[in-house]
Amino acid sequence: MKAVILSIGQELTSGQTVDTNSAWLSQKLGERGIETIEHRTVADQRRQIADAIAESVKKVDLLIVTGGLGPTEDDLTRFALADVLGVELVVDAAAMEHMEAFFRGRGWRMSESNRVQAMAPKGANMLPNLLGTAPGLACRIGAADVYVMPGVPYEMKDMYARCVAPHLPAQRGAIIHHILHTFGAGESNVGAAIADLMKRDSNPLVGTTVAGGMVSIRIISKASTADEARELANATARQVKERLGAFVVGEGDDTMASVVGGLLRRAGATLSTAESCTGGMVGEMITAVPGSSEYYTGGVVAYANQVKMQLLGVSEQMLVEHGAVSEPVAMQMAVGARERFNTTWAVSITGVAGPGGGTEAKPVGLVYVGLAGKDCRLVERLMIPGLRDIVRLRASLNALNILRMRLIG
């Protein structure tokens, strides 16, 4: 079974609101083995909505529509649906009663305009809305099942669970999404390493995405049962891991920080941080992980040189000779943090995040990340392309990654 998800609303096409309903629905459908082949969003225009519905039902056997069921003049989805069906709108007595009860129950006056919400295209079924005034609609157009729900996310999610999911035909197949997160290889190298696994129309289907500074590998497998699909995905995941080795940071909800945290916990080790250009981003990432107090004691944000000297013991001579963005300063920052915080490990970052502050010798994007441990003193020199946010993000991930590489040996 294949689906199209259609969202209705001027606030979406104008960019005032980001559509999150479609992604949520695609995930839910995917869990049931239903593949979403397209998301589509059109404004509150009766003709446009009707065209989008008519075109979609030709392509797939499931169309889910959200939005445009409200009481105002620009809520036109039910009219467009009636146009496509070639029928009139008729009042649904039960829906009218339910809506009147909804208003009575809250001691609100029901305005005339609400009455239209109790109207459905002749032959369509009403889907009760327990959280709002706009019922949903269900009907069949040609070979496609069509469900129309309100655009308000929590109303839609409740209605989907009660009125749509239970009626979706059980799929013979199941679709499993297995995601691996890599760091340090670059998307093109990752792609080259697994090119043969990424052939189109293969099962599992393998793809890559760049998000949050990491390259993620999606493994989407289809099989007759969820277990088979999972086994299929796991087999491919094992191949990917063999080829990419230590570039693979984690899976699913893992983050660089949660993986490093797990390694520190297992090693019974502790960590502190010394950050300049990232201003606390590494600490923020580490402490975003619940329970990070088990291994993270804290850090210094040494933005000014004075702070680098005073709180981390970086020598003035080093700062004068080599500058704040240099290998020896990165090293002293890490060593200084490790001593002061008395931790097993300390990571440090100093760099030019931009947009200003770059020079010929030290351009924007130049970053040194340091790692200090018992018998370990490492500094990596990075040239990170991109804007300030990206330089800081990639610098922070690199700082955690050199520690990760060390911890996994």
Which residues ranging from 211 to 230 are in contact with its own copies (CB under 8 A)? Answer: 211, 218, 220
Q: Per CB under 8 A, does 325 bind its own copies? A: no
CA trace torsion 263, 265, 268, 273 (10° rounding) = 80
* Binding mask of the shown chain, residues 61 to 100, with x at each position contacting its own copies by CB under 8 A: ---------xxxxx-x------------------------
Nearest to 323 by CA among 366, 289, 282: 366
Q: Which residues contact 242 (CB under 8 A, 6 or more apart)?
A: none
Q: Which helix (H) or strand (E) holds 404?
A: helix 388-407
Q: Per CB under 8 A, does 282 bind its own copies? A: yes
At its nearest, how many Å lie between its own copies and the CB of residue 342?
A: 8
| Region near its own copies per CB under 8 A, out of 26-34, 137-145, 229-237, 399-407 | 26-34
Q: Per CB under 8 A, does 162 bind its own copies? A: no
Q: In the complex with its own copies, which residue's Cβ is closer, 10 or 234? A: 10
Judge contact between 41 and 13, C-beta under 8 A: yes
Judge contact between 380 and 197, C-beta under 8 A: no
Among 91, 101, 161, 195, binds its own copies (CB under 8 A): 195
Nearest to 149 by CA among 78, 47, 48: 78
| Region near its own copies per CB under 8 A, out of 162-170, 195-203, 223-231, 236-244 | 195-203
Parallel/antiparallel/unpaired status of strands 119-121 and 248-251: unpaired
Q: Per CB under 8 A, does 328 bind its own copies? A: no
Q: Per CB under 8 A, does 189 bind its own copies? A: yes
Q: In the complex with its own copies, which residue's Cβ is closer, 177 or 230? A: 177
Contacts with its own copies by CB under 8 A: the residue count is 126
Nearest to 312 by CA among 275, 282, 277, 281: 275
Q: Per CB under 8 A, does 356 bind its own copies? A: yes
Q: Which residues contact 150 (CB under 8 A, 6 or more apart)?
A: 66, 67, 69, 70, 129, 132, 134, 136, 156, 159
Question: Which residues are paired to 381 by β-bridges?
Answer: 368
* Binding mask of the shown chain, residues 241 to 270, with x at each position contacting its own copies by CB under 8 A: ------------------------------
Among 203, 224, 225, 293, binds its own copies (CB under 8 A): 293
Q: Per CB under 8 A, does 161 bind its own copies? A: no
Residues of 210-249 as b/e, b for ≥16 C-beta within 10 angstroms? eeebbbbbebbbbbeeeeebbebbeebbeebbeebeebbb
Scan residues 34-53 and list those touching its own copies (CB under 8 A): 35-46, 48, 52
Q: In the complex with its own copies, which residue's Cβ is closer, 74 or 227? A: 74
Q: Per CB under 8 A, does 237 bind its own copies? A: no
Q: Per CB under 8 A, does 359 bind its own copies? A: no
